[in-house]
Structures are given as structure tokens and as C-alpha cells.
Amino acid sequence: MEDKGVLMPPKYKVAIIGTGFAERVQIPGFQRHPRFDIIAIAGQDPKHTQEVAKKFGIEQWYIDWHKLVATGNFDLLSVVTPPYLHCEMALAALDKGLHVLCEKPMALNAEEARQMLDRAHETGLTAMIDHEFRYLPARQRFRDLIRDGYIGQLQRLIIRFHQSTYADPMREWNWWSDFEKGGGLLGAAGCHYFDSAQQWFHLPNRIWGKLNTFISERPLPDGKGRRTVTSEDAFLAVLDLGNGAEVVFDFTATAKSCTGIYITALGSEGTLMIEGYQRLLASRGNEDLREVDLPHLPLTGDAPGLTGFLYFLDELAIGIDKGTSPSPNFEDGLAHQQFIDAVKISNALGTWIDFPPTGSAPEGVLPTSCPSTRRYFKGGI
């Protein structure tokens, strides 16, 4: 029998723009969470958008995202589109009085990210970035051990990301291969791990980076020719944290054999290592690495990020309840975008770049929505 004296927390209505990653992670996650109800989606392809809506029992679907936002009959807009659309969509939602969840990377450049952050502050609405991997049990325990001093003073954090996702030269060209649309591995995966690094330790003092495009062209989806790839499919980066501590990024999406993802923290007193998404190893002193027990991971065969996304949604719901923007929020998103920009500028100049970047980025190094986004200001943007 229902206890009428107990107030149930509100359930927030959600609309989603995007039917790619959203179909694999966000829609299943929102539908499994007790605090959210998806009422509408928008997508570019009419047939696929209708199919996704039918698959998940979502009654309203749109091809024109402007019409979706104009309805305003929901509480939260989740932007799950290529990066070049994030700024416009997020600003439109905030202006409509809607809370915003934005996919990473936050924008095309740090100037766009700053505009989004400023608008979120002006409206007081909840605005967060979907860094669901933060909430995987292995990374949560890794963070706790770091904060408890398990490894002592950090000497080096090494992040090795060797995937074969784009190793096939016959994989079709799409926005991911387009620099102007925010494509490439740096934004797709690099910012996820920068988010973790700055959460576990702190922001860097300076950054060095190098970009590579190993597969220089790809076939067009219609089979009529090939198109040049203008984004990176691999990169190296080094983050100087001060006192000799460094973070090393070794990333490629074109490995012929996928050797996996490893995060290794080497310290004055011990070592921590995450293998993939679920396994955490640890050692103190000269001990051998041993596996650390973690809470059960209810991945249920779904995409690895789904478990983390469900925990992330707990934070999102609390933020909307309280009128706050818990981390990872738009402030974090700006820092992630500054990291991406710094790596690109370093690659162009062949030198270390102060963080956050200052001065002017060389012409054509950053994708831009207007000329002003090429300009950095003293102290960062």
C-alpha cells in the first residue's frame, strides 16, 4: 500500500538529439533509471530515427532538432551529436530554460566551450558533460587509492590506448574523419582520459603533443570515390604536472591488432594499473601486482559505458534537484577543450604549450565557427 506521507522524487522528462551513441548507451541508460523518462528523440535520418523511436517505445521523434527544442515540453536536452553541433544546440536549450547534458568533446574549440559555460552560469540551469567512464568501479577505486596516498608521490601516469577501430582503410568516411566537424581520436577518446587524469591529480602546467593521420583517405559512403581524412587517427601527448610528474598519452585507433587500454600510475611508494574497463591491479614497494576486488560490474553484455552512465545519471538527477551542476560539468568541459586545443597547437608549432593556452593559435590549427575563436587571451579563455 502506498504511503501517502512519503514524497517521491520528481521524474524528469528527457529529449535526446542523436541516434548513434544515444541508441547504444544513453537511451537504454535513461530508460533504466527511475528518475528519467525519455519523451522524444531527434535524428538526421528519418527512417533510422523512426526505427529507434519504435524500438524503444518513444512516441515523439523529429528530424528538425529546432522543432524539438521549440516545444519545450521536457526538462532536459541531451546532445549526442558530432562536436560541431554542440554549441548551437546547447545554447538553444539553455535559452529555452532546459537543463543540458552534452556529449564530449564539449565543442569545436575553447571559445565555443566558454560561450556555453557562460550561458549556463547566466541561466543557473544544470549543465553537465557525459564522462560516464568516471563512474566505472575500477576507476572509482583507482581514484580513492590515489587520494589515500597508496602510490605516494606520482612520478608518471601512462595511458596506452591501442585500438583497431579505424584500422580498416575501407571503413567509410564520415564526420569522424573531418577536422572541421570536430572529428578525430583526440576528442573522441583523449578528452575522456584527460578528464580522469585531472580528476585523479590536477591540471597540467604545460602540454606537448603530436598528431598523426595514418590512413589518409577513406571511401565515400555512396561508393563514388574517396575523400581525404583531415582529422587524426593517432596522437601522442605529454602533460607536465610539475615536480617531475608527467602524464603520457599513447593513443591510436589504427592498430592492426587491438592490444587494449591500460592506465598505469607509477609512484614513489607503489603502482596502480587498470586493464580495460574492469580490472584493477596494485602493488606496494617491490611487491608483484595483484588484483584488487571491485564491486560487481552489471554490464549485462551492453556497451562498457552503460554501467558508468547509470551512476552518472544519479549525479545528474541530484544536480537538477538542487539547481547545481555537479562535476563533470561545463567547467570541466572547458578544461578538456583547452587540452584538445593545446595538443593541436603544440603539434603545429613543435613545442611545449602553456596550459591553458595563451596567445594566438596559428591559422587553420583549430576548427572555428567564427574568426574570434582563433584568439586566446592571457590567463586562458
Q: CATH code at 223?
A: 3.30.360.10
Q: What is the dihedral of CA 375, 131, 41, 83, to 10 degrees?
A: 20
Residue 166 pLDDT more than 80? yes
User: Does a structural domain hold residue 360?
Assistant: no
| 245 half-sphere exposure, CB direction, 13 A CA radius | 21
Confidence of residue 4 (pLDDT cuts 50, 70, 90): low
Residue 116 is assigned to a structural domain of this protein: yes
- Co-location of 141 and 277 in the same domain: yes
Same domain, 57 and 172: no
183/174 Cα distance (integer angstroms): 9
pLDDT band with cut points at 50, 70 and 90 for residue 307: confident
Residue 262 lies in a domain: yes
Q: Is pLDDT larger for residue 258 or for residue 342?
A: 342
Predicted pLDDT at 380: 32
Statement: residue 94 has pLDDT above 50: yes
Residue 379 pLDDT greater than 70, yes or no? no
Kindly state whether residues 24 and 161 are assigned to the same domain. no
What pLDDT is recorded for position 373?
A: 40
Rounded-to-integer distance, Cα 358 and Cα 328, Å: 24
Evaluate whether 112 touches 381 at the Cβ level (below 8 Å): no
Q: Span 184-212, mean pLDDT?
A: 97
State the cell numbers at 278.
574492469
Q: What is the C-alpha to C-alpha distance for residues 291 and 295, in angstroms, rounded to an integer? A: 13
**Domain containing 113 — which CATH number?**
3.40.50.720
Same domain, yes or no: 232 and 185: yes
Domain annotation covers residue 374: no
Torsion sign over Cα 188, 191, 192, 193: positive
pLDDT, mean of residues 25-45: 96
Task: Give how many domains the chain has, as a whole number.
Answer: 2
Both 125 and 73 in one domain: the answer is yes
Residue 348 in this model has a pLDDT that exceeds 80: yes
Determine the pLDDT at residue 375. 37
Considering the domain architecture, whether residues 151 and 272 belong to the same structural domain is answered as: yes
CA atoms in the 13 A half-sphere facing the CB of 232? 23
User: Confidence class of residue 297 from pLDDT cuts 50, 70 and 90?
Assistant: low
| 154 and 124 within one domain | no
| Residue 318: per-residue pLDDT | 97
Domain limits at 120?
A: 12-132+310-332
pLDDT over threshold 60, residue 320: yes
The pLDDT value given to residue 21: 87
278-306 burial code (b ≥16 CB/10 A, e <16): eebbbeeeeeeeeebeeeeeeeeeebbbb
State whether 277 and 147 are in the same domain.
Answer: yes
**CA-based end-to-end distance of the chain:** 55
* pLDDT score of 8: 79
For residues 148-166, give the mean pLDDT. Answer: 97
Whether residue 293 lies inside any domain: the answer is no
Both 55 and 146 in one domain: the answer is no
Whether this model's pTM surpasses 0.85: yes
Q: Do 161 and 277 reside in the same domain of the chain?
A: yes
Domain contains 68: yes
Residues 75 and 145 in one domain: no
Task: Give a yes or no: residue 128 inside a domain.
Answer: yes
User: How confident is the model over 73-90, as a mean pLDDT?
Assistant: 97
- Characterize the bridge pairing of strands 353-354 and 206-212: antiparallel
Any domain includes 344: no
- Find the mean pLDDT for residues 242-271: 96
Q: Supply the DSSP string of 310-331, one letter for each residue.
A: HHHHHHHHHHHHHT--PSSBHH
User: Do residue 94 and residue 176 come from a single domain?
Assistant: no
The average pLDDT across 72-90 equals 97
